[in-house]
Amino acid sequence: MNKTKQELREEVWRRMEELKIARFPGAFGRIPNFIGAEKAASMITHLREWKNAQVVKVNPDSPQASVRRLALLSNMVLIMPTPRLRSGFLILEPARIDKKDYGFASTIKGAFIHGREIKPSDLPRIDLVVAGSVVVNEQGERIGKGGGYSELEWAIAREYRKVDEDTPIVTTIHDVQLVKDVFEIAPYDLPMDYVITPSRVLSISRKREKPRGIYRDFITPEKINEIPILKEILDRKGVSKR
C-alpha cells in the first residue's frame, strides 16, 4: 500500500532531524530549511528558464531565501506571496531597492519593507515559479506542509492569466527530500518541471497538466474566509469548477 502524504512528510521531517541537516527551528511542521539550500539555489541559475526569465514568483519560506536574493541580483522582478496569503502578493523591483539591501529584501520582514502589495490582476506576467516542498518524488509530484498555499498561489495567478501550462515550476530541496514513493495526487496539486537539490538538477517529463485555476469544490469555507483575495475571486463570475 502506498504511503499517505502525511506519512511521507513525517518520514522526511524525521530523517532530516536525524541527519542534522534541518536548520533552526527544525523540520517538523514546515517547509524545512536545510544545509545546502544556498547551493541548491545557485543551481537554478544554470537553467535556461532562469536565464530567460524577467519575472519570477518565489515562495516566502526560509529555504528559498537565497533564490529570492539571486532573483534580485539577476535584475528580475520578484513576486513573493505573503505568508498564508493574508496580504496577497508583494512585488519587489530591483531598480527600487539598493543593492546592499537585496539580502534583507529577500526575507519576509524585508520584503514587506522594500516591496509593495499588489493585486493579482496587476501582477506582471510570470516567467518562472519556484515552490518550496517537504517531499518530491521522481515523477515531479510535490507534497507541501499541508496548507495548500502554493497551490492557491498558482491557482490565483492562473485565474488572472499570469501563468499557464507553459510556465515552468521549479522546487529546491535537500536530496533526502527526493523519494521514490508514488502517492495520491489531487487535481489542484502542482507538478514540477525541475527538482533541484544541492547535488543534482532533475528535469521532469511531466505526465499531467498543471492546474487550470481554482477548483472551488476542494476549498473549505474557512479557507475562503481566511484569504480575502480568494473570496474576491470566487465572487467573480466564471471561476473554475472541478
**Over the stretch 8-61, which tens digit does the pLDDT of each residue have?**
999 999 999 999 999 999 999 999 999 999 999 999 999 999 999 999 999 999
What's the pLDDT band for 106 if we cut at 50, 70, 90? Answer: very high
| The pLDDT value given to residue 237 | 46
Measured in degrees and rounded to the nearest 5, phi and psi for residue 126 equal: -95, 130
What's the pLDDT band for 1 if we cut at 50, 70, 90? Answer: confident
**Mean pLDDT over residues 110-125, rounded?**
97
Measured in degrees and rounded to the nearest 5, phi and psi for residue 81 equal: -65, 145
| The pLDDT value given to residue 242 | 41
**Mean pLDDT over residues 99-112, rounded?**
98
CA distances from 45 to 33, 60, 78, 138, 161 (A): 20, 19, 15, 21, 25
- Length of the chain equals 242
What percent of the chain shows pLDDT beyond 70? 98
Q: How many CB atoms lie within 10 A of CB 189?
A: 20
Q: What is the pLDDT of residues 158-183, one digit of tens each?
A: 999 999 999 999 999 999 999 999 99
What percent of the chain shows pLDDT beyond 90? 90
| The pLDDT value given to residue 235 | 84
Contact 76, 93 (CB under 8 A): no
Contact 88, 120 (CB under 8 A): yes
Q: Please, what is the average pLDDT of the chain? A: 95
User: d(Cα 117, Cα 127) in Å, to the nearest integer?
Assistant: 19
DSSP 191: B
pTM: 0.95
| The pLDDT value given to residue 240 | 43
Residue 131: strand pairing partners? 171
| The pLDDT value given to residue 186 | 95
Q: Which three cell numbers stand for residue 207?
A: 505526465
Residue 90: strand pairing partners? 80, 117
Three-class DSSP category at 95? helix
| The pLDDT value given to residue 47 | 98
Q: What is the pLDDT of residues 134-166, one digit of tens each?
A: 999 999 999 999 999 999 999 999 999 999 999
Contact 46, 201 (CB under 8 A): yes
Domains and CATH numbers, the chain: 5-214 (3.40.50.10420)
What's the pLDDT band for 81 if we cut at 50, 70, 90? Answer: very high
